Structure formats: structure tokens, C-alpha cells
Amino acid sequence: MRTLRIVTVLLWIAVGCKDDQTRKLSSLADQACACPDRACALKVQTELAALLGDMTEPPKSNATRFAALLSKASACIDGALQGGH
């Protein structure tokens, strides 16, 4: 799973993302970091996968911020799935 996240980050660093997508990712990252348990983390992970799956040819304007938010969300999800942040 971590390899998939790294590949996703590298892909989106290369192609960037739209502002609306960045806002959605920011919201998901905040939700992930607020997750108190595994069920919550799995729900956010599913929403994150859907967001990434819906993306097509985004512009490069927010690539760095997007990568940072994706990393934050992934770390928080991993922490919740392992039983704590």
C-alpha cells in the first residue's frame, strides 16, 4: 500500500492538480488526521482512492502542496490503521 502511495505522489508531482482537487484533498487529510479508529481511517482511505481515481490531466500549479497533503493523509491513515497517530 505504501508503494502505491509513493507512486501516486510521484505521478501527481509530475502532472500537478486542480485547485478544487487540492481543496478536497486538504479536507480528506484533515479528516484522516482526526480519525480515532480503523473504521474511520478505512472510510477516508476509500474516499481518497476515489478522489485520485477521478483525476485526469490536472495542471501543475499545486503539485507541491498536493504531494504534501497526500503525504499527510497517508501518514494519518497509516497511524490510525496501526492503532494510533
pLDDT of residue 53: 87
**Residues with pLDDT less than 70, the chain:** 1-18, 57-59, 84-85
Q: Nearest-CA neighbor of 21 among 45, 1, 50? A: 50
> Tens digit of pLDDT for each residue in 73-82?
999 999 999 9
Q: How many CB atoms lie within 10 A of CB 65?
A: 15
Q: What is the pTM of this model?
A: 0.73
- Cα distance between residue 82 and residue 67, in whole Å: 22
Q: What's the CA dihedral at 38, 41, 45, 46 to 10 degrees?
A: 70
